[in-house]
Amino acid sequence: MNTEALYVEPGGHIEDFPLADDADRQHRAIAAELDGPASAWRLGRHLTVHANPNAHQRPRNQVALSTWHDLAGGPGPDLRGPVIVTGAPDGDGLLQPLPAASAELVAHWASLQRAASVVDGGPAVSAAQDIGTRDLQCDTYAVRRDNASGRWAFVVLDGIGDEADVQAHVRRWAPALAREAALSGDPADAIAQIRAQILARSGARRWHPMDPGAVAVVAVYHHGDPALRLAWSGDARAYRLSHIAGLHQLTKDHNYAQELLDAGRTPKEWDHNSVTANLEEGEVGSAQVDVDLVAQLILCSDGVYHPLETHEPGLLEAAAELALDAKDTAGSLVAEALAVGRCHDESRDNATALVVTFPRPTAC
């Protein structure tokens, strides 16, 4: 089923936008809604994005940009302010309804953007992603706030493999894991609860390696609680950037490379790819850190940290330390990881960085 069109604001608010049955009336209505002239950027049969080309001072529309990037596998136009997303025009210039798959993707990125919006007195959250040289983006992230308790949860999932069912799997379970962690306040228990739900949904007694899977890292923050609580399963990582002492890894990988290191042996090039635990089964690690010692919390997939620590030791820390804020940190880490991969002529994994800064206590 197709949606006629969607009106999309930078903050993640979306609503249906009706399309007239005449091309001229369609374009006049779009221009009126966008308060000025409207330019159109078409991405094949997937969608057409209409934006005001004079909105230079407006915020970037991250929902539209992320949707474009997901479909195209690369960056899109500099879309700012509200946009209207339609289907492609037909031979007579009449805009067609937005395909269902594209509408679902817009809704997906809009929900993430709404969840990551700053709440007064709450943490500042930003994320950056790139598909790398993969066919699909099988990383995802989620942010949730439990309104009753005020707890926040932050999640990064890195799907195992590069198939459509893996992509659907991470997009289903990342928000569920974030909701569970924000509700309970215990990220390790949240992983256990989601494992049970995954098995119940599949009807299996245990997860099979041929089933869709993902590695996970989750953090829980509650204003007034001095501890930032973390849990993970697999090799997605959490780091803290401290105010004075640099970057510190808070998690320990669940993979064959780490097992070799623990045994005093040297891993080979691809040993890090053999994970020994994931969201669906295996060990769950947990840790906590004094939130006052955290200038920034960084959750990331191995597509971010692995190329940096393999080829440019110290660049991960330098990129984080030199960034201006959470948004700059997330973007810099992903950009540096991709640049290093290109420099060494390597295939590049999906890369995701979710960065959080927390409210600082004020002096009385």
Residue 352, beta-bridge partner list = 129
Question: Within 117-247, where are the H helices?
Answer: 164-184, 187-202
Q: Residue type at 361?
A: P
Domains and CATH numbers, the chain: 6-104 (no CATH), 119-357 (3.60.40.10)
Q: What is the pLDDT along the chain (364 residues), one digit of tens a residue?
A: 456 899 999 888 898 898 988 999 999 999 989 988 999 999 988 999 999 999 888 888 989 988 988 888 777 888 999 999 999 999 999 999 999 989 989 998 888 777 665 555 678 888 888 888 898 999 999 888 888 999 999 999 999 998 999 999 998 999 899 999 999 999 999 999 999 999 998 887 788 888 999 999 999 999 889 999 999 999 999 999 987 778 999 999 999 998 999 899 998 888 888 899 999 999 999 999 999 999 999 999 999 999 998 888 888 888 888 877 887 888 889 989 989 988 887 878 999 999 999 887 654 4
Contact 130, 345 (CB under 8 A): no
**Using CA atoms, how far apart are residues 290 and 187, in angstroms rounded to an integer?**
16
Q: Residue type at 318?
A: A
Q: Residue type at 269?
A: E
* pTM of structure: 0.74
**Using CA atoms, how far apart are residues 318 and 315, in angstroms rounded to an integer?**
5
CA within 13 Å, CB half, 197: 14
**Using CA atoms, how far apart are residues 27 and 8, in angstroms rounded to an integer?**
16
Contact 351, 304 (CB under 8 A): yes
